[in-house]
Amino acid sequence: MKKVTAPDILALKGQRKISMVTAYDYPSGQIADEAGVDMILVGDSLGMVVLGYDDTLAVTMDDMLHHTAAVSRGVSRALIVGDMPFMSYQSSVSMAVENAGRFLSRTGARAVKLEGGFPFLEHVRAIVDSGIPVQGHIGLTPQHVARFGGFKAQGKNARSACALVDEALALENAGCFSIVLEAVPSEVAQEIAERLSIPVIGIGAGLHTDGQVLVYHDILGLFDRFVPMFVKKYAQLRGESIAAIKKYVDEVEKCEFPAPANFSNMAESELKLFRTMLKERT
């Protein structure tokens, strides 16, 4: 099956809406791919929804490479985007290029995403010049949670909205093939999507972006510790999973599991022989 590439995503701008979902392991990658999403983001949100941290700051390059490689083994079509974790690119341009390269050479990702705009334009340019497609990410960037004072929507006043427009244009000029725009008012997102010639993928940014991204565990209702207002749960798998495992516990206690269909028996003749041999031993 032909894999979706970054230029394919770019070409979808203005043609149809683009779908992106996160995934963190082989089954979630396989499920998202079979469902037909265009892009699979191995997001550093894995720190929260898979590893149980309060935010994304403790996620390491090793965590990301491990999980991205697992996702990759389950995906045959979607473009896999590896999310550069906190402090894997901020401190120098060369570190940014080296770590972006590790995603492509070691995991099967064919693009990387990094958070932030103006401070990282040089980093973006250098990564793109190395042959690696870069997805920008502005608005609510979770790696800045300490500076923002929490997971807070951005671009709510005219001044900060204008700054976001400028930042998005600067990322496009630096060579990004798309950007993620998180938790900004719909009007700001629309303005940015109209001004950019690259796709703008929204999360909590309204209907007028070129596409949408959601976290896998949110879509499926698997994570209920923190549910932003922009999340839509398309299933309630946490509740269904608990009910299924409760039923298993109950059936084990009542000796209803395993049922005859779940195990095998010896052939009658072998069983006889087995018992005779055991007797002879005593």
Name the active-site residue from 122, 182, 191, 280: 182
Q: Does residue 209 bind ligand KIV (CB under 6 A)?
A: no
> Site mask, ligand KIV, residues 161-200, x = CB under 6 A?
-------------------x-x------------------
Q: Which of 33, 111, 112 is nearest to 77 (CA)?
A: 33
89 burial (CB, 10 Å; 0-12 / 13-18 / 19+) is buried
Residue 80, classed as helix, strand or coil, is strand
Taking the complex as a whole, the smallest distance from the CB of residue 83 to ligand KIV amounts, in Å, to 5
Q: Which stretch binds ligand KIV (CB under 6 A): 23-31, 42-50, 74-82, 123-131?
A: 42-50
Taking the complex as a whole, the smallest distance from the CB of residue 201 to ligand KIV amounts, in Å, to 8
15 burial (CB, 10 Å; 0-12 / 13-18 / 19+) is exposed
Residue 182 appears among annotated catalytic residues: yes
If phi over 0 gives left and psi between -120 and 50 gives alpha, with beta otherwise, what is residue 148? alpha
Q: Does residue 204 bind ligand KIV (CB under 6 A)?
A: no
Q: Does residue 78 bind ligand KIV (CB under 6 A)?
A: no
Taking the complex as a whole, the smallest distance from the CB of residue 48 to ligand KIV amounts, in Å, to 9
Residue 12 has φ and ψ, to the nearest 5°, of -80, -15
Nearer to ligand KIV, 168 or 203 (CB): 203
Residue whose token pair is 């401190």 = 91
List interacting residues with ligand KIV (CB under 6 A): 22, 41, 43-45, 83, 137, 180, 182, 203, 213, 215
